[in-house]
Amino acid sequence: MTRRTGGFETRWAIVVVGFVALSLAFSGRSMLSLAMDEWVREFGWTKAGISGVMTATLIIMAGLAPLVGYAIDRSGPRLILTAGLALVGASSAVLAFMNSMLAFIIGFAGLGALGFGLVATHAVSSAVARSFDVGQGRAVGIATSGSTAGQFVFMPVLGLMLAGGGWRLGYEALAAACLLVAIIAWWLLRDASAAAPSHGAAEGTKESFIARVGYLLRRPAFHGLFWSFLLCGYTSTGVVETHLIPFAQFCGIPPAPSALAFGILMGVNTLGMVAAGYLTDRMNRTVLLASIYFFRSLTFLLLPLLVQETAVLWIFAFLFGIFDYATVPPTASLAASHLGKARVGTAMGLISAGHSIGAALGAFAGGYLFDLTGGYTWLWSSSFGLALAAAMIAGLVPARSRTAALA
């Protein structure tokens, strides 16, 4: 019997591989925070130096994002995801045996940056969006929820390994898992290049990268999604994921409850992404995206109440988690319908680069405003205002595209 190419099995193989790949890659990124204190004690490194390597990694990832998206458009996700997993595995292996800052830079900002740039949320979301006509939002939500599910499930396991056998054991386990999944992914995605856009696939497939970017920059819908997602990066990764725990400790809340709040945030994030994907298929996507940004802005009003009130911190983490990564499914779906499935990878790559820029600005603003004012009030005020602005910008994206279903 001839195997169907690009059929049901292949489409859901992309979802499964994307979920697991994101779980491993995001765990690899987050392990840095678990091992940081160990490295300071063992090697005498500074936290500023370690954080500087992480900043360089994020910059490299932002630069890679549009090119990775373009590669997804041209050849599908098989080579991108398997190569990314292999690079994350190689990065983890280097880190497991490192004894110098140079090895850390090569392992994390070299191999790791390339691997994390290939196994990225925008790569998985665009690969899934271009493969589904029915149930697109649900599929994107499930696949991309691996980015938070990995931190919620794998990070405690890796943490136990770090505690029981040292930080090197955790990286050895991650390296083995990545390389094993890379082999399995190469087999599962053997027909993934066939899971291409089913409507208007010929249009736009032969464009050069420059021509494709030029096309996107002329589309108002792209700007609505790009600028709202840039502000999304400021108010999520940049502000909350970087400064929430330091703010909680500034308010007198001990590290353990603060860490639990972050776990709550990641766990609810997973559910929020799946729920947003379900709703993306069943309601006006523009209204959904704008509403997510609007309700996210309201959660920042809780933070001024956080003065030795652990319950408020946990409530914020739960509510913010609902509206954090939930922006990904409707954004990817709108990009696919308004900008074309054959261009959705490049579009999401550029949009993701904007998110990284916003995240960098938010992370910097938190430290700068704290040093300037001695507190976080202006940071949360700016986050409230910019989340509202993101809601207004997203609301300008038409609910339906006149060129929907074109490549």
Phi and psi torsions of 308, nearest 5°: 55, 30
| 184 & 309 share domain | no
| 289 & 406 share domain | yes
| 286 & 324 share domain | yes
| 208 & 247 share domain | yes
What are the residue ranges of helices labelled H in 166-254? 167-188, 209-217, 220-233, 240-250
| 49 & 23 share domain | yes
Q: Point out the domain boundary residue: 196, 220, 245.
A: 196
From residue 7, give the alpha-carbon distance in Å to each of 11, 20, 73, 190, 270. Answer: 6, 20, 18, 12, 27
Q: Residue 127 is part of which domain span?
A: 1-196
What is the reported pTM? 0.80
| 177 & 312 share domain | no
Q: Which amino acid type is present at position 315?
A: I
Q: Which amino acid type is present at position 50?
A: I
Q: Which segments of the chain have a pLDDT < 70?
A: 1-6, 8, 155-156, 158-159, 161-165, 193-206, 255, 307-308, 401-407
For residues 266 and 221, give the distance between their C-alpha atoms in angstroms, rounded to a whole number. Answer: 30
| 274 & 364 share domain | yes
| 236 & 356 share domain | yes
| 115 & 259 share domain | no
Q: Point out the domain boundary residue: 148, 175, 196.
A: 196
For residues 283, 286, 288, 292, the Cα torsion angle rounded to the nearest 10 degrees is: 170
| 287 & 382 share domain | yes
Q: Please count the structural domains in the chain.
A: 2
| 174 & 201 share domain | no
- For residue 405, what pLDDT is reported? 41
Per-residue pLDDT of 249-278, as tens digits, reads: 788 887 677 777 877 888 898 899 989 989
* Domain CATH code at residue 108: 1.20.1250.20
| 183 & 205 share domain | no
- Kind and range of the H or E run holding 28: helix 8-43
Q: Point out the domain boundary residue: 196, 213, 241.
A: 196
